[in-house]
Structures are given as structure tokens and as C-alpha cells.
Amino acid sequence: MRSQSQRTKANPGPAKAEHDVAEGASVFWRLMPSVRAPEQDRFLFFFQLSAFLTLAQTLGLAGSEALFLERVGPSALPLAFVLAPIATVLGCLGYAAIVGRIRNDVLFCGLLASASVALAAAALLVYINVPGILYVVFCAAYLAQAVLISLHFWTFAADFFDTLQSKRLYPYLAVGASAGGVVGGAIAALSGSALPAEALIAGWSLVMLLTAVFVYRHELDLRRWRTVGFEERDESSTAGMQSAVRFLSRSPLVGWLVVSIVGMISALFVIQYIYMGIFSEAFDSAESLAVFLGVYLAVSNLVEIATGTVVTPMLLRRFGVPTANLVHPALTLLAFPLLLLNPILVSGIIARAIRELMENAMAAPIRQLAYNALPFRFRGRVRALLEGVVLFGAMATAGFALLWLGLDASLMMLGALGGTMGLLYLGASFMVRREYLRSLVTELRRGRLDLQDFDIDLGQSALTSLAEHWEALIAAEGTYPSPSVLALASELAERGLGASVLRASRHTNPRIRTTCIEALADHDPTRLTADLVELLGNKDADVRSAAVRAAIQLSPIPSDIEAGLRARLSDSDPNVRAYAAAESGMSGEATLSEMFASDDPITLVAALSCATSKQASLLERNTGHESPEVRATSISRLSQLGDVAPLNLNALERALGDPEPIVREAAAQALSKCDQSGVAKSLASALDDRSRSVRSAAASSLAALGKPGVDAALERVRSGHPGVADAALHAIATASGFDASSQLADVYRGCVVDAWTLAAGIELAPQATTLQLRFLNEAFLNAYRHKTALAFKALRLIEDDTVVRSVQRTLERGTTRDRADALEVLSNLADRDASDQFALLLETGGFLDKVTSAADFISPPDRFKDVVTAVQRNEDKWLSMATDVYLANQKEADANVAPQNTDGTDPTPIPRAEIDLMQRLLALREVPLFSKLSLDRLEAIHQLMHESEYLVGECVIREGDPGNDLYVLIEGELQIYKSHGTPAQRLLSTLTPIGYMGEIAILDGSARSATAIASKDSRLLSLGGEPFKEVVLQAPEISFEIFKVLTARVRAAEKRQG
């Protein structure tokens, strides 16, 4: 039997074909450098879809135009220009009424299939020459272009690409459309000489049908790729259109865009009327005209590709959106003298290129970018309104104007009408340029936009205008300047507009001055030279500090500024003094030495932050200083000095045990630069830290170590503590110079397997009739939630983060149908076997039925004893505690059975402290504020609580006293009274374990509304307001529960009053 290599040599065809396909794919992706690997599959789908749609439209355009001009004649064009937009607007309104009600891929298939059937019937009617049918076909071309391409294609694509992705990828989709146009034009040209023009209408229908099949066959992929969630965008819906109309009334930019589009369409349709008359006279049959149109469309689409990929980006880089937007109006105006002076075929071709090629490849893409200056939620809606209703309304207006002129209108009259509309187009475009910049500044000021997103959108002249608007905003700022406005200072200085930033640096507001000085210090310090002497003596310390930063960037430092720096050696602010001393030679060293000897921690911290390698021993000594800020600064500065001040691993390990988080965080950051064995192990232990900032620093340092860091983090990723596991996953995913995808996949599979085991424990656990069994159930549920959350976390690091988050949100809050769609998406992500079983686990339904379906992949335990065996030595301390207590209770319950753990060893006696902890955690779970928290969070809260004992008759809280504590009754009984001790005394309620009171007082500190008296000896846990604030910082999810409690209180009050 021949080997595989021998068979390949004998029959090289398949291998060569595979190699050629792979090579072709490689070339294709090199031509699309902005398409990232995770996006390639869905981008390729939309690239092909765009090509198919345009191919179909090109066939339809060539056939419908040729037949219309030859059989009906150009004199009928004005009426067609009226009928086509009316039909299109009606079609768009009908589309708006249904979009959003049906899933977009299903709607697309339906629209394409319906269009295919209608066009097939139209082709037959054209062939038998039914009167008026060519008007219908002519209108169908515009209707299909509007609904299928201009509206639904982009609405459909928006479900799969976010704003930043669309900015990168949409220009390439336009290339796909042009490629489809090239192929369609070539087919039209080749078939025109052999087949009647009616065949092009039939071909149009056929390609529409094939496109519908293409979309249908990708249904599962589309569900997997969707990124926006399962509430699909309704930008083209009736509600979206109405919202855009309301926004139009208050947006000058949108108003001028409307005028611009009206002028553009009116001028372009006059141009079209003229050149179609020229084409009609130049050809004597529909077939010859169809061949010409096919050749023209093929060539023009090739040119369109070059224009869209080279010329338009070059214009945008050179001039920016506002100025580049003026190019097409100027070309449109030039078309009229060309057609009036020399109305020949060549002039008609040039005019058509301006009408279609330049509008598609230049004007439309630039107009799309102009929408970026609008608030995000209105962009798509305004685009749908303008590119749909307004555009075709303008086309109808042009048709009525041509009808009004009459069939005997001279070329000069047509030129006057078109020229007037062209001037309107140009004038409105100038106004769009102005309002674009104003709108951009307004949105930037409100924090809705980021200037970094506009790298290609703004040319230098536009940036200069933007800087002028920014200066006006800065001048108007008061005591509390907008952070978004301040953020622009650095952007403008970096882009060569330091003059504007310099003028703004003279503002009276110290914060504005400081921000502008820092921006210039980073990007253009020489501009500050004339002002630095004054700034170094400014009364505000932050301004002086920024001025020192700027001064030390100058090389050489002018003598007057150098003198100003020396004067800062006696500055009252330690930071200013230290910065100046670091750059002032011998006299500066003396100042720093004096600061190093200071007993004031603030002064010492400022000096240590400027220490050099000469002070390495000083820094090492201060790592043991009594001030945590001094200790942390010393460690950080030693780390910054790097090789010249090698770090000691033992000292950093001791710092990881420091009682202050700021010191532990500094040590974790410094360990990444410590070149000694054992670093990864130390950092992995820091992942267990109770402080989130320390865990984050340890994860970042582990990631910087590369593979050793990944190996160390893997040992902690299965931790039962959510924060530890999250930090370990972050370290693995961001590891430097190491692809951890296989490790992440293993973590994901492991989490799914563990989740199934824990789900079995939840299903098989005995009924919770005792404290121990209640806690056992709670521990299983807690661990299950942790493992599923960790699985999603790993999945987000493997797959597109937006997709996975969408799935999670929908599974939490979606409808039954949406959840089903989400599970379908989930089952197609990452490791398909693991994801399929994860989706099965998350389905609603009986657990035993799910186990049967999962048997081929995983076999979770079917007895509770086996579940306990699987989880008893789990790293989750709550599961370990709960199973230990369970086994101890089993021993007590059955005296005839020898007590043994699942591994055969004797169970350890359960300390009373653990029983008490379980009781208290379950008690905290009863408090609404804490009901959704994990056991780790509840333990953190418990550690902040104090236990108190009250004898019968003692007062716990008194009506009218200030309230600042939450109480949880864990033993005994309390009676709650209104007006206690007065004749109006009234018993409101009796509080029994596990009960709570004061959940509102802990939030607002309001006076007690009732008195609580111990009616039995009682034990209570209390949590004060200040510790509670610390809890909220560590567990922000409590905030949502706070909102619920406050909302319920407000509603109850309203109900009592109403």
C-alpha cells in the first residue's frame, strides 16, 4: 500500500489546488490589512454579500436602462424620475414598518426571494412587451438599491460590527461592492451581443435568488457572529425615522446635510437626464446599448475601487472630512459647462462618472464620516432618514422640475436648473463643513466622542478650526472645567496646534493652566519658553509643578528659566521643590539631602520619587519606614531605577505581607523587574491578596514574565475565590510574548466539567432541613455560579469579548426566544464540544434530562456521595467546609457506620467557630442588600461586623436616635414599638432569627423610626456606616441592591400618601 506522500506525488492535483487556495487567501488578506483575524469569517461573508448584491444590481441597471431608453425613450425620464422615488419612498416606509420585528437575516432572505420572484415575472412581461412594464422595472432598480443595499445591507452589517470595526472595515465592503459591479458589467457586456436585453432582467432575478440562498446557508454562522446582542438595531424603523426627524429640528449639521443632499440629487439627476439622452442617440438598439453600459459599468467599478481605496483616503488624510466634502460639489458644477459646450458621448461618460462613480467612491463615504460628529444613538437613524426618504424625495423633486420645464426644454435651460442646484449643493457643503466642526466640539465637550477616533477625519485646516472652537470653549469654562474639554489639550498639542494650547494656558483657572502646561511639556515645551519664568512663580502649586516639568524638557535651559528653577528649591510645596532640585545640580542635591532627612512623610515621599541610583541604599532603608506611603514610594522608585539598583526578592516578599495595600501593590509591580528565581511563585501567591489592586498588579507582573508567569498563574486559576481566578486568567491572557490560547481553552473545558459536577450536587443534595444542609446547598450554588462566571471569563478571552458579553446579558435578562438564540451562539464558540455542553447545562429544563444528552461528553456523578467525593478537596473553601460538616453530621446520624471521609480517612471534628460562621453567613444572605453576594463577599462583610448580646428588656435601638448601623438578629427575639414608653405605645412587629433592621439607616443615616426591645436574650450582628462604604467599594454590585431597596421604600411611601 502506498504511503500518503507517494499518493500525493502520484496525484498532485488536490494538494496543488489546496496550496493555490491558501496562497490566494493569503494575498486577499494582505490586501485587507485592517481586517483582524477574529473578524475574517464574518467580514468575508459581508464582502461576498456586498459583491452579490451589486452584481445583481449591475445586471438590472444595464438591462433596465437599455430597454427603457430604446423602447420608451429619454423623453419619458422626467416621469420615471417622479415615479421611481415615489415607489422607493413607499417601499422604504413599508420596510421601516417591518424592520426590527423580524430577525435581520430572515428579513433579508425574504426580501431577496420576493424580489427574485417579482423580477422573474417582470422579465417575462418585458419579453412579451406589456405596456408600462418598463416603468415598473425602472422603478424596481431604484427600489432594490434603496431597500436592499442602502438600507438593509448596512442595517444588517451593523448587527455584526461595532463603531470602531465599521470604520475600519466598511471601506473594504465598498471594494466588495465594486468588485461585484465589475463582474456584473462584464457579464452584461458579454451577454448583450448574444442574448436579448431581457435576459439581463432574468439574470438580475437569478442572482437575487442565489444571494438569498447564500444568506440562508450562513444562518448558524450569523447567530455565532452577532455582536450587538439580540435586540437588533432599529435605525431604519418607523420609530427610528421619527426620532431622526425630531433630532433634525435641533441640529444645524443635520439641517445642512438635508439641504446638501437635496441640492446634490437634484443636480445629479439633471446631469443624468442629459447624458442618458446622449447615450440614447449614440446607439440604435437595446442590445448595443446594453453592451456599452456593461463595458462602462465594469470599467467604472474598477476605477471606483482605485478611487475608494486610494484617492478618497488621500483626500481625507490631506484635507479631512469637512474640506474633502467640497470636492464632489465642485466636480458636479464642472459637469454642466462640459455637457453644455460639448454634448458628445465622451462628455456623457465623464458626466456619468461624476454622477455615479465619484458619488459612490468619494461623496458617499465622506458623507458617512460626517455622521460621526453626531451623537452615537442618532447616527444610524439620521443616515437612514437622509439616505432613504430625503434622497428619494429630492429625486422626485428633480423629476417634477424636469416635467415643469417640459419636453422641449433647451440644453441651456437644463444647464441653468442643474447649475442652480449644483451651487446649492456647494453652498450647503460649506455650511456642513462649519457645522461639522461645531457639532464635533460640542460632542467632544460632552464626552460622547474621542478625538483619537478622528485620525483620518480631520485635515490640518479642520484641526485648526477645531482648535479655535476649543479655545472659545476653554475661555467660557468656569470653576469646574469639563474633563472632556481638558483632554483635548494633549491631543491638540500632539497634532501641532500648540499655539492654541499656549493661549489657553494663560486661563485664570489653575486646573486649565496646569493641564495645558502639562500637554505642552509632553509635546511642545519650547512654546512655553517665554512664559515659564512667570509660571514658575505662580501662586498655585500644581501650576508651578507643571512648569518645572516643562522647564526640564528644554535643552539647553535658558539662564532666566534656570534661575527660576533654582528659586523653586525653597518652594513651599514638596513636589515642586523635589522636581526642581532633581534638575539643579549641586544646589539641588543639597536640597534633596535636606528633604531625605525630613520627618514629614509628604516631604520624604516627594524627595524619594526623585531619587537616583546614588540614593539606592537610602531607598532600601526606607522600605521599612513607618509610613506606608514612604515604603511604597521607595519600592516603586527602586523598581524604576532597574539594573542600577537591583531589587532584593526577599525584601519584596516581605513587602507582599505588608498590612497596607499600597505597599503590597508596589511590591507586586516591582517583582516583574526582579531577575531572580522564585519571582513567579511569589507573584502567584499575591493573586490571593484580599485587595483588588494588589491582585491586578500581581497579574500584570506575571503577564510580563511570559511563560513562567503563565505556568504560575495556571496553578491559581482554579481557586474558589472569584477575584483570584479572574486575576490569574488576566495574567494568562495578557502574557508577554506567549500565546496562551491552548491554556485558556483547557481552563474553559475544566470550568465546564466542574460546573456540571456542581450542578449535580445542587440537584442531588438532600433537602435543606438543617443549618448544615442549608449551607451545603448554598456552597454548591456559590461554587456553581463562580465556575460558570469563570467559564464565560475564559471564553471572552478566547473569542470576541462583545459576542460573549451579549450572550451573557441575554441569558440573564432575555426572553425565552432570545435565550434560545443566545445558547445557539454559545454552542458554536471556541471548543465546540465544551461549548455545546455548556449551552446544554444553561438550558432550562430538568437536570436528569440534560445528563442523558451530555453522556457522550461528560458523565457527572449520579449519587450525592460521589459528588461529595469529587468536591471535598476542592480549592473552594466553602465547599470543603460544607462537605466536612456534612460528613461529620452523617457520622452522628448513623452511629453504626464508622466515620470516614470519602478518601478513607477519619473526618476532622468541626470547630464550633465554623458552625457559627455558617450560621452568620446564612443570616447575612437573608438581608436584601446582601442577597446576591457570593460567600466570599459575605465573609468580608462579616469580618467588619460586631457581635452584641442583649438581655430580656434591654433596648437595642431607640426611636429618634441617629441611625447608622444595620442589625441582623441571629438568636433571640426583638419587639419593635412605635412611641415606646408613652401612652400611645404600639407594637409594630416581632423580629425573630434570621431577621434584620436598619437597612435604610445604614444608607442615609436617618433617625430611628421605632424602638427595638429584646423580648428574649438575644445575639445580634451590627455593621456601621463607614465599614459599609468600604464594602461597597470592594463589591460594587451591592449598589444595585441599594437602588432596589430605596426604590421599594419610595414606592411604599407614595402608596401610603396616595
Q: Alpha helix locations (H) across 765-863?
A: 771-798, 801-813, 816-827, 832-842, 847-853
- Contact indicator for 773, 727 with CB cutoff of 8 Å: no
Last residue of a domain, one of 890, 910, 930: 910
What is each CA distance from 591 to 139, 175, 568, 582, 595, in whole angstroms? 84, 65, 10, 9, 6
Which of 487-501, 502-516, 845-859 is predicted least confidently? Answer: 845-859
Say yes or no: 236 and 207 in one domain. Answer: yes
Q: What is the pLDDT of residues 46-76, one digit of tens each?
A: 999 999 999 999 999 888 888 888 888 888 8
Q: 941 or 596: whose pLDDT is higher?
A: 596
- Is the pLDDT reported for residue 958 higher than 70? yes
| CATH code of the domain in which 1030 resides | 2.60.120.10
Q: Which helix H or strand E contains 905, and what residues bound it?
A: none
Neighbour count for residue 858 (Cβ, 10 Å): 18
- Looking at the domain assignment, is residue 711 inside a domain? no
User: What is the span of the domain harbouring residue 808?
Assistant: 747-910
Model pLDDT, residue 456: 43
- Is the pLDDT reported for residue 903 higher than 60? no
| CATH code of the domain in which 84 resides | 1.20.1250.20
Q: 793 or 889: whose pLDDT is higher?
A: 793
- Looking at the domain assignment, is residue 801 inside a domain? yes
- Contact indicator for 164, 453 with CB cutoff of 8 Å: yes
Give 115-139 as a DSSP string. Answer: HHHHHHHHHHHHHTT-TTHHHHHHH
Work out the angle at residue 696's Cα, subtended by the Cα atoms of residues 695 and 700, and round it to the nearest 5 degrees. Answer: 115
Residue 403 three-state SS:
helix
Q: 482 or 1012: whose pLDDT is higher?
A: 1012
C-alpha cell at 299: 470599467
Model pLDDT, residue 118: 92
Model pLDDT, residue 347: 92
Q: What is the pLDDT of residues 753-778, one digit of tens each?
A: 888 888 888 888 888 778 888 888 88
- Looking at the domain assignment, is residue 710 inside a domain? no
Say yes or no: 756 and 789 in one domain. Answer: yes
Last residue of a domain, one of 910, 942, 968: 910
Average pLDDT, the chain: 82
- Contact indicator for 488, 451 with CB cutoff of 8 Å: yes
Last residue of a domain, one of 910, 935, 951: 910
Say yes or no: 203 and 251 in one domain. Answer: yes
Give the pLDDT band of residue 389 (cuts 50, 70, 90): confident
Say yes or no: 75 and 174 in one domain. Answer: yes
Say yes or no: 343 and 197 in one domain. Answer: yes
Give the pLDDT band of residue 91 (cuts 50, 70, 90): confident
Does pTM surpass 0.85?
A: no
Q: How large a percentage of the chain has pLDDT more than 70?
A: 87
Q: What is the pLDDT of residues 433-473, one digit of tens each?
A: 888 877 776 766 665 555 555 444 556 666 777 788 788 87
- Contact indicator for 70, 289 with CB cutoff of 8 Å: yes
Model pLDDT, residue 117: 94
Which of 221-235, 262-276, 523-537, 828-842 is predicted least confidently? Answer: 221-235
Nearest to 349 by CA among 413, 303, 407: 303
Say yes or no: 133 and 277 in one domain. Answer: yes
Nearest to 386 by CA among 588, 491, 251: 251
Q: 541 or 30: whose pLDDT is higher?
A: 541
DSSP annotation of 717 reads: T
- Contact indicator for 730, 697 with CB cutoff of 8 Å: no
Model pLDDT, residue 155: 77
Say yes or no: 317 and 368 in one domain. Answer: yes
- Looking at the domain assignment, is residue 840 inside a domain? yes
- Is the pLDDT reported for residue 818 higher than 50? yes
Model pLDDT, residue 443: 66
Neighbour count for residue 30 (Cβ, 10 Å): 8
Model pLDDT, residue 259: 93
Q: What number is the average pLDDT over the span 1019-1044? A: 74
Model pLDDT, residue 3: 40
- Looking at the domain assignment, is residue 958 inside a domain? yes
Give the pLDDT band of residue 932 (cuts 50, 70, 90): confident
- Is the pLDDT reported for residue 420 higher than 90? yes
Say yes or no: 331 and 419 in one domain. Answer: yes
Nearest to 402 by CA among 276, 284, 290, 257: 276
Say yes or no: 135 and 237 in one domain. Answer: yes
With helix as H, strand as E and coil as C, how does 731-744 read?
HHHCCCCCCCHHHH
Say yes or no: 903 and 919 in one domain. Answer: no
Rg for the chain, CA atoms, rounded: 37
Give the pLDDT band of residue 848 (cuts 50, 70, 90): confident
- Looking at the domain assignment, is residue 493 inside a domain? no
**Contact residues for 892 (Cβ-Cβ < 8 A; gap 6+):** none
Q: CA 6 to CA 402: how far, in whole Å?
A: 74
Give the pLDDT band of residue 228 (cuts 50, 70, 90): very low
- Is the pLDDT reported for residue 508 higher than 80? yes
* Residue position matching grid coordinates 432598480: 141
The count of structural domains within the chain is: 3
Model pLDDT, residue 466: 75
Q: 826 or 817: whose pLDDT is higher?
A: 826
What's the one-letter identity of residue 134? Answer: L
Say yes or no: 894 and 925 in one domain. Answer: no
- Is the pLDDT reported for residue 639 higher than 50? yes
Q: 284 or 180: whose pLDDT is higher?
A: 180
Q: What number is the average pLDDT over the span 796-815? A: 81
Which residue(s) pair with 1021 in the sheet? 947, 968
C-alpha cell at 643: 539594573
Model pLDDT, residue 5: 42
- Is the pLDDT reported for residue 1 higher than 70? no
Model pLDDT, residue 455: 47
Q: 771 or 894: whose pLDDT is higher?
A: 771
- Contact indicator for 712, 680 with CB cutoff of 8 Å: yes
Model pLDDT, residue 18: 61
- Contact indicator for 35, 169 with CB cutoff of 8 Å: yes
- Is the pLDDT reported for residue 215 higher than 70? yes
C-alpha cell at 842: 444553561
DSSP annotation of 965 reads: E
Model pLDDT, residue 250: 81
- Looking at the domain assignment, is residue 696 inside a domain? no
Q: What number is the average pLDDT over the span 1030-1034? A: 70
Q: How large a percentage of the chain has pLDDT more than 90?
A: 17
Q: What is the pLDDT of residues 333-361, one digit of tens each?
A: 999 999 988 889 999 999 999 988 888 88
Q: CA 267 to CA 421: how far, in whole Å?
A: 5
Model pLDDT, residue 1053: 60
Neighbour count for residue 129 (Cβ, 10 Å): 11
Q: Which helix H or strand E contains 1019, and what residues bound it?
A: strand 1011-1024
Q: CA 130 to CA 132: how far, in whole Å?
A: 6
Q: Which helix H or strand E contains 978, and what residues bound it?
A: strand 965-978
Say yes or no: 938 and 830 in one domain. Answer: no
- Looking at the domain assignment, is residue 445 inside a domain? no
Q: 444 or 272: whose pLDDT is higher?
A: 272
Q: What is the pLDDT of residues 132-158, one digit of tens each?
A: 898 999 888 888 888 888 777 877 887
